[in-house]
Structure 1
């Protein structure tokens, strides 16, 4: 059976965009309910309710306000946490060895990895030169 004849429904869920968050904020200020906002935005009302609940900030008063900026910031923070764990993991000995060689002894990242291979140093994890350069670019090691 090919995709054209599939009996399953296509997944229709998609993330709420930044401009939609601002639209939710303005419609809430105008006094619309999540149901009416969902109808107007062609979204499920429950999605709107979850978004409002998740990104609302309440002060010491009992007034609860939705803030699109907070919603977008939280969304971006969660999106940044996605992905694979670091190969280097919790191998602090390898990190300190690499930092010592690069910072104190002025080795290049490629020379450090080459020395580890050549001399047969054993650490909990192993990384290649490209991974080391990527980690340095991301700022995971001390600035050199």
Structure 2
């Protein structure tokens, strides 16, 4: 999905648009599988009881509630988090109902660093650290292909000067 062009200023174009690494979705998916397994197990345990239909309805309500809260919400949060590099700035946008964002002009970026653990290297992600002229360094975790993003961002900063 491309970043909305109407949010860009005249002459600005998107160079890179990423969501956080998909590793953020591993735990929510495992939780979904666990919730389904527990609900099926408990439903099978109570099937011989006279109150089984009521228990099944209660299990369905609890199971759907947990699935929405522990799986759907993190997936939507992941999908609505944007890391965008344009020809003029770096933008980060997060949130669905209440949105937060930060814009860092290329001219204000002093240095760009990255780091990743051994596991993150295997998964192809890491942390990007951007040091701007007036603020403390900003860290963006779970950036996919962090080394490529670092190189691209460094090139954009060098082209801006």
What's the TM-score once normalised by structure 1's chain length?
0.26
Higher relative contact order (CA 8 A, sep 6+): 2
What's the TM-score once normalised by structure 2's chain length?
0.24
Q: Which has the higher helix share?
A: 1
Q: Which has the higher strand share?
A: 2
Larger Rg belongs to: 1
